[in-house]
Structure 1
Amino acid sequence: MPKFAANLTMMFTEYPFMARFAAARKAGFDGVEYLFPYDFPVQDIAQELATHQLTQVLFNLPAGDWAQGERGIACLPERIDEFRSGVENAIVYAKALGCRRVNCLAGKKPDGLSTELANTTLVNNLTFAANRLAEHGIELVIEAINTRDIPGFLVNNSKQAADLIAQAGRTNLRYQYDIYHMQIMEGDLAKTIERYLPIIGHIQLADNPGRHEPGTGEINYPFLFKHIDALGYDGWIGCEYVPANGTEAGLGWLNN
């Protein structure tokens, strides 16, 4: 069975954020991830990780004004300085939390921005971020997200992510493969994971439809977990799902 990390943005929301670390450990998780740590003092998060002996697996680079609907700024030419400042902030948090991997959200392409310029800006930002993160032994991943949940998101399939990684040409830049998003966008999960395994740095999951826990939708997760194991993937799988009826009540899949 793969290594699973609880996503504390979506799971254990029955508790305040800082109490979710204890809840994740009690439920049997060894690692945690979440969207962003920046609203909380880094020392407080580090203390929770240490107290509950949890590995900080992943978080995202700053991604603009999330509350106002922004979902990343890496493809926006007028936000390059903000992006670079965000990279520096992420480095501070990653080092303090012992986190070896951060994710870049490309963002939504505005109607007035050409796809060519958006891609060029994204590649340049990925190159900058990967170079800075490499100085601290940190890996960068780029995620593809389905355009049903986030219309207009620039990076939305595995080939596109692989092409961006090839263009940036940095050995510490890899692909964050989200099973839920890619089931919607391209399907053929087992073969796609196998094809892109050499560049996959992190995997996330949720079932479809509904984005709930494994076993609530159409994806054959028992088969897929065995397949991922057989491929030799030894990284983490982040549980980025919305529990259907409470987090603890929906964890039966984890013990099967």
Structure 2
Amino acid sequence: MHTIDPAARLKLVAVDMDGTFLDGAGMIPDEAWQVIADLQERGVHFVPASGRQYATLSEQFARLGAIPIIAENGTVVMRGQTEVYANIIDPQPVAAVVDAVRGERELDAGLVLCGRRTAYVERGDAAFARAIAPYYRAVEVVQDLNLVQDDIIKMAVNVGTGKVAQMAAALDVPLQVVVSGSHWVDAMNQGVHKGLALGRLQESLQISAEQTAVFGDYPNDLEMMGRARYSFAMANAHPQVAQAANFTAPANTEHGVLQVLRAYLEGRSSL
């Protein structure tokens, strides 16, 4: 396990949520709030960076005020109600994905259209609602996703059977298709990812990679690793992330992010 150089002049800490910052029960650890407060007192921006919806993340971190948030796997960056960056998908591939997901009923697949205003779904059954609830707080059920009038920044497919590779292969569209979780497949414009979003945020805040730490565990965190001198893969991380990161943090079930940040704040070179 590694730590951040106590002499480092950090200005930004970006954290993935599931499998990284959240504990084994999918909750924000109670001690996280004091660690974040101590970072902010030093002028360090704390930035959630997740595939989750902005509305969900802003609700989870409401007590922190207008902090920067990277949402929807990097397709949108917000700072309070100010949009720093957004990447909009053309209507044609959106329609193609809607049709493709409708054709994969045996996978128990359900599509979430992630719009600028809110998220949209056709499925209104209880099982699907439970599956998406931790990630999408602002959701509108519609009769036909092809009739949604909103800018779409990402499409997220919840795969009830867990056969995410089969679902991803069925999305034959000119988009970037990534497996973002054990039951999730995301589609967005090519070249869009958390790393690009983090870069846009760094530019807006005039913060360098040398002043940045990132924490992640899954392949959708890979590009973030290249945007930070202090890139940490969790001990429970996917092998690709472990290889890409410069350092390793204890598992999320051991509150690894907080262990590393607490050591930095206390000037320790060991956990």
TM over 0.5: no
Between the two structures, name the one with larger relative contact order (CA 8 Å, sep ≥ 6).
2
How does the TM-score come out when normalised to structure 2? Answer: 0.36
Alignment TM-score, normalising by the size of structure 1: 0.37
Structure holding more strand per residue:
2
Asked which structure has the greater CA Rg, the reply is 2
More helix by share: 1
